[in-house]
Every structure is written in C-alpha cells, then in structure tokens.
Structure 1
C-alpha cells in the first residue's frame, strides 16, 4: 500500500506536483527553472529536477510577476 503525503507537507515537489500546488503551469515552472544558471530552488537527484517547495514559495511571495 502506497502512503499518500499531502503536497503542503512535502519538502521536494516534482514539476507536476508544484504546478498543482502553486497554480502555475508546468511549462511556466520549467521555463522559470531554465532562466537562471543553477537556481537555488531546484535540487538535482541525478538528472531529475525537483523543486524546493518552501524556497519557491519565498520567491513567489516577493515577486510581482512571473
């Protein structure tokens, strides 16, 4: 049996999960991750990119547009 964890309790999110959590399109999140060299809100697990939920929340709270 697979245990479900609420998105607000997860430290790392996939782009699909982050899209649902933040209400931002998955392509927009991927584009945001590509704008910067080595953004501090992305963590690499091998070649898989994961989003640090709390750090991206902080960035979005400070932003006026995305």
Structure 2
C-alpha cells in the first residue's frame, strides 16, 4: 500500500518538493531561502524545509524572484 502524502497536504516541503510544487528551480529556492525576508524556511538539523503556506504567500507578494 502506497502511503505517500500528496504535496498539497504537507505543511513542510523539502527543497525538491517545493521545486516540483512551485515550478521554481531548486537552486533558486535555496537562493530565496537566504534572503532576510524569507519567513518560509525551517531548519531541521541540517535539513532545509519550506513552510508551504508561507512560501505560497511569499511568492504571491513578490513581483520578481
């Protein structure tokens, strides 16, 4: 039985999942995560996670990424 959770149900995404979800490249997402106003990141040890809802809001209010 496949227990994979669809991306749109997850609250945090890996960089790879965020890229697939948004259509933005992984490199660009990592660049965005380094910005001062990037309130959508979560560090779990060495792992970088993206808070999906905050990422959506961030992308919606940006004119250029």
TM-score by length of 1: 0.88
Cα deviation per residue 1:27-56 (whole Å; 9 max; x = unaligned)? 00001112338x321111111110000001
2:3 paired residue number: 3
2:48 paired residue number: 49
Query: Which structure 2 segments of 5+ residues have no match?
Result: none
- Give the alignment's Cα RMSD to 1 decimal: 1.5
Alignment of 1:1-66 (within 5 A): 1-36=1-36, 39-66=38-65
Query: Which structure 1 segments of 5+ residues have no match?
Result: none
Instruction: Give me the whole-angstrom Cα distance separating, in 2, the residues matched to 1:42 and 1:63.
Output: 16
Shift of 1:2: 5.0
Shift of 1:8: 0.5
TM-score by length of 2: 0.89
Task: Write out the 4+ residue segments of structure 1 that deviate beyond 6 Å after TM superposition.
Answer: none
